[in-house]
Structure 1
Amino acid sequence: MAGGLEGRVALVTGASRGIGAAVAVELARQGAQVVAVARTTAGLEETDDAIRAACGRNATLLVLDLREGAKVDAIGPTLAERFGRLDILVGNAGLLGRLGPLTHLPETDWTDLWAVNVTANWRLMRTAEPLLRASDAGRAVFVSSGAAARPRAYWGPYGASKAALDHLVKTWAAELAITRVKVNAFNPGPVATRMRAAAMPGEDPSTIPQPAEVAPAIIALCRPEETRSGEVVSFR
């Protein structure tokens, strides 16, 4: 199904479920060649099945733990060899981590949270920049959270990691201001995902937006005609 993204090459992390899977399917539905990244083969295959059902094409599946820095660094050269460029980068993968007092958090939990929510996205920026510059309209979107701007008890590590991500996004956008590349963060608000259910176990998921409802707003930031850059765009 045509949708204005025909021939665009799009990389989506955290694409095995939730927002990432919904974005991958919608990008493919609108014509993009999707490179779907996640840790689990089974989850990526489910996303690939959904993409085939939606538009009849296959995604490129990349099974990868974003905590493995050298493998993240290799994404750029791999895509360069296969596609020659990257038009769209959606950094969706993230960890909630353990909610609780800052001073009670084990160091291993802090390290994992920071590795996925911040360091992996910095590595993605670094490995993807030459390819996004090679595009006629490179677009990058990183999924943030309202917790970044609203500190609250027991959410410190997660909120701090998302605040750091927002800062990186704005800095990268400023550094790319004279190029054709546009970079933004996206705050989806409450969405019915597995992460949300872990954070809010008593919440009725039918009362909040589903991933497929949020995905088009992220895709809008990926379009060649998008002019915003360096912003944190909220779904609602």
Structure 2
Amino acid sequence: MSSSEGRLAGRIALVTGASRGIGKAVAKLFAREGAELVLVARTTGGLEELDDEIRAINGKTSLLVPMDLREFEAIDRLGYALYERYKRLDVLVGNAGDLGTLSPVGHIDPAEWQRVMDINLTANWRLIRSLDPLLRQSEAGRAIFVSSSVGSQARPFWGTYSVSKAALEMLVKIYAEEIKQTRIRANIIDPGRTRTGMRAAAYPGEDPQTLPTPEQIAEKFLPLACADFDGNGQTVKAQ
């Protein structure tokens, strides 16, 4: 299948945390399916390497946005820039995340708590705030946010990350209720156990070869990004 015939042909898709792991795998899959990509990550080098890989896949150059998502005003500027360039956005993938340090609730460092909340929760709210007008200009705007099973399961020592994901899930479900009468659909995906750097940090003794790869998990994102997917406010488990 050529990129001009893919399931995302002609659609503009923005992916955060795109330089590695699941975000990178999703970006490459979307490229194979014909999407025009806006890639957001902190590392310029990682984005440039990914851009090279995507050009090898479909011959297209992506829009690279080196950005720390904690710089919230930069997210607002991104919305303006995308409007000037495209006038719309078809797919938003809020993938970037921060694990923080696993520790008892009473021992959590306040600065680390704030950093994790900023990236996992507030940045996604700011993305919705900035990009909702662009999603409304799409014939079928689709927003996908990455959560985790610990967003709904109380697990000791996971306080910061779990609370951020629980709050993110509620944010997305409220947004989904608010857009029911529009052409936008917003959903949550729980990747499950995946061979990523974040997983390795959380479970250093685990054999990564026993885990699904980011490329395998990325396949679950594709239906949610397509114009014909009408689910809204759902939590989709990738495994």
Alignment TM-score, normalising by the size of structure 2: 0.97
Q: Aligned-pair distance for 1:177?
A: 0.3
Which residue matches 1:79?
Answer: 82
How far 1:219 sits from its partner (Å)? 1.5
2:73 is equivalent to residue 67 of structure 1? no
Q: Percent identity?
A: 51
Report the Cα distance in structure 1 between the residues aligned to 2:49 and 2:217, rounded to whole angstroms.
19
> Cα deviations across residues 160-188 of structure 1 (Å, max 9, x unaligned)?
10000000010000000000100001000
The separation in 1 between residues aligned to 2:50 and 2:204, in whole angstroms, is 25
* Total equivalences in the alignment: 236
**Would you say 1:121 and 2:87 are equivalent positions?**
no
Q: Which moved more, 1:11-20 or 1:40-49?
A: 40-49
Q: Partners in 2 of 1:53 and 1:143 — Cα distance?
A: 27
The whole-number CA distance in structure 2 between the counterparts of 1:176 and 1:63 is 29
Superposed CA RMSD in Å reads: 0.7
Paired residue for 2:53?
A: 50
Report the secondary structure of 1:221's partner residue.
helix
Runs of 4+ aligned structure 1 residues displaced above 6 Å come to none
Q: Where does residue 192 of structure 2 map in the other structure? A: 189
Shift of 1:138: 0.2
Distance in 2 between residues matched to 1:75 and 1:226, nearest whole Å: 26
Question: For 1:23, which of 14, 26, 36 is the aligned residue?
Answer: 26
- The Cα offsets for residues 154-211 of structure 1, whole Å up to 9 and x where unpaired, read as 0011011000000001000000000010000100001101100100111111111100
Partner Cα separation in structure 2 for residue 103 and residue 26 of structure 1:
41
| SS of residue in 1 equivalent to 2:188 | strand
Out of 163, 180, 190, the residue aligned to residue 177 of structure 1 is 180
Could you tell me which runs of 5 or more consecutive residues in structure 2 were left unpaired when the two chains were aligned: none
Which AA in structure 2 matches 1:101?
P
Q: Tell me the distance in 2 between the aligned counterparts of 1:224 and 1:164.
A: 27
Q: CA deviation at 1:57?
A: 1.4
How far, CA to CA, are the matches of 1:164 and 1:78 in structure 2?
A: 28
Shift of 1:74: 1.4
Q: Secondary structure at the match of 1:90?
A: strand
Superposition pairs of residues 119-198 of structure 1, within 5 angstroms: 119-198=122-201
